[in-house]
Amino acid sequence: NAGVTQTPKFRILKIGQSMTLQCTQDMNHNYMYWYRQDPGMGLKLIYYSVGAGITDKGEVPNGYNVSRSTTEDFPLRLELAAPSQTSVYFCASSYSGPSSYEQYFGPGTRLTVT
Amino acid sequence: GNSVTQMEGPVTLSEEAFLTINCTYTATGYPSLFWYVQYPGEGLQLLLKATKADDKGSNKGFEATYRKETTSFHLEKGSVQVSDSAVYFCALTGLDTGRRALTFGSGTRLQVQP
């Protein structure tokens, strides 16, 4: 199993450009998440999904959009990039069992907006 | 709201020294508690977990005990190795079972010198 994969690994954007961060998991997990990690800080939740077709906002959703058309994929869209979105982005997934809260993380995408 | 507080780093130790990284939390009810580790250039990996009071999570020589009376989940290891150099995150979840998202501490960087 590949687990959670993310592309690209690195990206530099100019202010105002758009891009999509890709995330795919092959564990048949219902729950998927996007976090951002700023230097010296913990991870903050951007968006999450509890299943295909269902998404909701986390703590810091402004400037981002998501979709979940399949169980496997959970792309994150940045429409108008701003310097404040310079960060490392992590996708994660988890099983939806009654006591299963462990999350599996992808390797991250390092984004710089200049 | 929920929050996790970790000791500030970096923590610098010599090989074979004893490690303690403090973690305290604020939450209502009975959250599940986790320690995640992030090696340089990689995503987060689950190190250990505890799901109820007085549980002890352990893995790779690391241990942490869920102390509800002191709302703490301190990470310990008896003898650290250079390969343990990484950033360690304390996290909790389970209170908002709808989304099951993790609330992270800010992370503690551990540097182990030979």
Compute the average pLDDT of residues A49-64: 94
Distance CA A72, CA A95 (A): 12
**pLDDT at position A41:** 81
Please provide residue B83's backbone torsions phi and psi, each rounded to the nearest 5 degrees: -70, -10
The proportion of chain A whose per-residue pLDDT surpasses 90, expressed as a percent, equals: 84
> A21 forms bridges with which residues in the sheet?
A76
What is the interface size between A and B, counted as CB pairs within 8 Å? 58
SS3 B97: coil
- Write out pLDDT tens, residues B67-79: 999 999 999 999 9
B51/A31 CB distance under 8 A: no
* Contact (CB<8Å) B101/A107: no
Looking at residue B72, the DSSP 8-state letter turns out to be B
Q: How far from B63 is each of A107, B48, B73, B103, B105, CA to CA, in Å? A: 25, 8, 9, 20, 18
Q: Which of B110, B65, B67 is nearest to B86 (CA)?
A: B110
Kindly give the parts of chain B with pLDDT less than 70. Answer: 94-99
Cβ <8 Å between B43 and A107:
yes
* A13-55 pLDDT, tens digit each: 999 999 999 999 999 999 999 999 998 788 999 999 999 999 9
CA distance B21 to A40: 16
What pLDDT score was predicted for residue B100? 75
End-to-end CA separation in angstroms for chain A: 36
